[in-house]
Amino acid sequence: MNDLLAHRLRLLGLRNVVSVRTHTNRTVMITLTARGELRLHQGYASAPDRVLRAIVRFLNPRLPRSVRRLAEREFLGFPVELYAPAPAQPGRERPRPGDLALLQRLASTHERLNAEFFGGLLGEIPIRLSGRMRTRLGELSVELRTGRPTEIAISRRHLARHPWAEVEHTVLHEMVHQWQAETGRPVDHGREFRRKAREVGIHAQARRRVSLEKSGTCAASRAGGTAEA
């Protein structure tokens, strides 16, 4: 399936991609890694050419942002869940002692950084703690159909192992993604993200070892689907 999908995408103009891998996790619909691996939802293997062309346009950094944004809307509108249902999602984690104080501190941090770097224009957003994040420091979830940001998740390992200043850096990183979503921009690590990251004084890619076995990067995601490039 992966080879056939890769062949179709290349016939439609896909370039500079080393390999194509599919998945059924709807947290992140499309990701292009720095190593040139394209990861996308398995349901796109059943998509018509117009949807695959939209994916190719979205992945082309030379196209105007408005064109890539329209392309993103087109392929996110394709009902991948009808062709490759997502696995059942596990239940929410149970609260742990000390969670309330941490969440209050994170909410206060978000409010302060919002005022300092975004003029207080970002909306309030729920923040949760995740013990399942082994390679990510944090992530932003947004709705698939509307693009509305729904929550920020922060890794428990990150909170336990790193100084609070680094946690604030991660929150600010995810707030840049929140700014992208709320202003109708693609939620990715592209040129506009890097420009905004420099403006607020953070690294465009937050890389840090958060488990004993693996190291990873902070990633933007959507509950129900997103795209990264």
Q: Is 139 helix (H, G, I), strand (E, B) or coil?
A: strand
pLDDT for the residue 91: 55
Q: Are strands 19-23 and 37-41 parallel, antiparallel or unpaired?
A: parallel
pLDDT band at 51 (very low <50, low <70, confident <90, very high): very high
Q: Which two tokens stand for residue 146?
A: 């509307």
Query: Are residue 106 and residue 206 in the same domain, yes or no?
Result: yes
**Measured between alpha carbons, how far is 168 from 206 in angstroms, rounded to an integer?**
12
Q: What's the whole-number average pLDDT of the chain?
A: 83
* Nearest of 27, 23, 22, 25 to residue 144 by alpha carbon: 27
Q: How many structural domains comprise the chain?
A: 2
Which residue has better confidence, 163 or 73?
A: 163
Query: Are residue 128 and residue 179 in the same domain, yes or no?
Result: yes
Asked if residue 224 belongs to a domain, the reply is: no
- Lowest-confidence pick of 49-58, 81-90, 151-160: 81-90
Q: Are strands 149-155 and 127-130 parallel, antiparallel or unpaired?
A: parallel
The answer, yes or no, to whether residue 213 has pLDDT greater than 60, is no
* Residues 133-157: tens digit of each pLDDT: 877 899 998 877 678 899 999 999 9
Asked if residue 162 belongs to a domain, the reply is: yes
- Given 21, 49, 82, the domain boundary residue is 82
- Given 23, 51, 82, the domain boundary residue is 82
The answer, yes or no, to whether residue 87 has pLDDT greater than 80, is no
Residue 180's domain spans which residues? Answer: 99-217
Question: In terms of C-beta density within 10 A (0-12 exposed, 13-18 middle, 19 or more buried), how is residue 65 classed?
Answer: middle
**Measured between alpha carbons, how far is 133 from 221 in angstroms, rounded to an integer?**
13
Q: Within a 10 A sphere around the Cβ of 12, how many other Cβ atoms?
A: 15
Query: Are residue 45 and residue 134 in the same domain, yes or no?
Result: no
Residue 114's CATH number: 3.30.2010.10
The answer, yes or no, to whether residue 78 has pLDDT greater than 60, is yes
Query: Are residue 162 and residue 188 in the same domain, yes or no?
Result: yes
Q: Which two tokens stand for residue 75?
A: 């392929």
Asked if residue 166 belongs to a domain, the reply is: yes
Asked if residue 202 belongs to a domain, the reply is: yes
pLDDT for the residue 205: 59
- Lowest-confidence pick of 89-93, 106-110, 154-158, 167-171: 89-93
The answer, yes or no, to whether residue 221 has pLDDT greater than 70, is no
Question: In terms of C-beta density within 10 A (0-12 exposed, 13-18 middle, 19 or more buried), how is residue 134 classed?
Answer: middle
pLDDT band at 96 (very low <50, low <70, confident <90, very high): confident
Query: Are residue 129 and residue 19 in the same domain, yes or no?
Result: no
Q: How many Cα atoms within 13 Å fall on the side-chain side of residue 71?
A: 23
Q: Which two tokens stand for residue 164?
A: 């609070």
